[in-house]
Amino acid sequence: MTQRTRIKICGLTREADVDAAVQAGADAVGFVLYEKSPRHVSPARAAELARQLPPFVTPVALLVNASDAEIAAAIAAMPLALLQFHGDESPQRCEAASRPYLRAARMSEAFDLLDFATQFSNAQAILLDAHVEGYGGGGKVFDWSLIPANVPSPVVLSGGLHAGNVTEGILQVRPWAVDVSSGVEAAKGIKDAALIRRFCDAVREADARIAISET
């Protein structure tokens, strides 16, 4: 049976964008709690937005080298959120919160993804993003051929995805999920409902093509 590719829309800041993501069929929505990001929201604001989510749509709290107090504030504001660690956090740091988490990997030719995934074997999934200056994702596509075929964890494909390339990304990588932020925006932190719909449609097109190829 063909696995359906899950969809995460990240960097939401407005109620209308949460509604658009849900209506388009997103499985998860991400709130950036990293203050240096143009998509930053406070834990309180993220909690307001997360309260709009229906059952079975997962809120994700994106953190970058956060302090104990910042992690505690995120969990207190959104007790049902999946944590996403996007900085230099160690496995021990990620696991200290005793919460399910995603671990972001910054892909480059020199990066050993298999070793990284082994270190973070308790992560729900490894999110693959481009290696850029700074943290939190840079909207850049990396070379998908760098991804080994035998990653021991579920993979979330991220980094510069949009409706025009996500179908090919899924066909090539066969990830558990895909993650998009800038690729569905009208401006930084302002999502475009039509772009979200087109992105989700392109994901479903990829899944349909895989299903046909496997019959």
Tokens of 211: 């299903």
Q: Is 134 exposed, middle or buried (0-12, 13-18, 19+ CB in 10 A)?
A: exposed
Asked if 102 contacts 129 with a C-beta cutoff of 8 angstroms, the reply is no
Catalytic, out of 94, 129, 179, 200: 129
Query: SS in 3 state form for 39-86?
Result: CECCHHHHHHHHCCCCCCCEEEEEECCCCHHHHHHHHHHCCCCEEEEC
Catalytic, out of 10, 27, 94, 200: 10
For tokens 């069929």, what's the residue?
25
179 is catalytic: no
Could you give the dihedral angle defined by the CA atoms of residues 179, 33, 64 and 142, in that order, rounded to the nearest 10 degrees? 20
10 is catalytic: yes
Asked if 117 contacts 156 with a C-beta cutoff of 8 angstroms, the reply is no
Catalytic residues: 10, 129
